[in-house]
Amino acid sequence: MKTRSLALVLFAATAFAGTALAAPVTYTADPDHTHPEFEVDHFGGVSVWRGFFKHTTGTIVMDKAAGTGTVDMDIDMKSAVMPNDALTAELPGDKFFQADKYPTAHYHGTLGGFVDGAPTTVTGELTLRGVTKPVDLKILSFKCFMHPLRKVEDCGADATGTFNRDDFGMDFGKAYGFKMGVTLRIQVEAFAGK
Length of the chain: 194
**Distance of alpha carbon 141 from alpha carbon 130, whole angstroms:** 31
Which residues are paired to 160 by β-bridges?
138, 185
In this structure, is residue 18 part of a structural domain?
no
* DSSP designation for 33: S
* Residue of 63, 145, 75 whose CA lies nearest to 107: 75
User: What distances in angstroms separate CA 7 from CA 15, 17, 18, 79, one per listed residue?
Assistant: 12, 15, 16, 60
Q: 5 in a domain, yes or no? A: no
Rounded CA gap, 154 and 34, in Å?
A: 12
DSSP, res 118:
B
Q: How much is the CA Rg of the chain, to the nearest whole Å?
A: 21
Hey, which residues does 121 pair with through a beta bridge?
112, 138
d(Cα 71, Cα 43) in Å, to the nearest integer? 34
- pTM of the full structure: 0.87
What's the structural domain count of the chain? 1
Q: Is residue 9 part of a domain?
A: no
pLDDT by residue for the chain (194 residues), tens only, comes to 444 444 443 344 444 444 445 699 999 999 999 999 999 999 999 999 999 999 999 999 999 999 999 999 999 999 999 999 999 999 999 999 999 999 999 999 999 999 999 999 999 999 999 999 999 999 999 999 999 999 999 999 999 999 999 999 999 999 999 999 999 999 999 999 96
Domain of 160 in residue numbering reads as 23-192
Q: Give the CATH number of the domain where residue 123 resides.
A: 2.40.128.110
CB 67 within 8 A of CB 88: no
Cα distance between residue 159 and residue 178, in whole Å = 25
Q: Is 15 among the domain residues?
A: no
* Torsional sign, CA 163, 164, 170, 172: positive
Q: CA–CA separation, 113 vs 136, rounded Å?
A: 13
Query: Is there a domain that residue 100 lies in?
Result: yes
pLDDT at 103: 98
> Is residue 160 domain-resident?
yes
Q: Is residue 4 part of a domain?
A: no
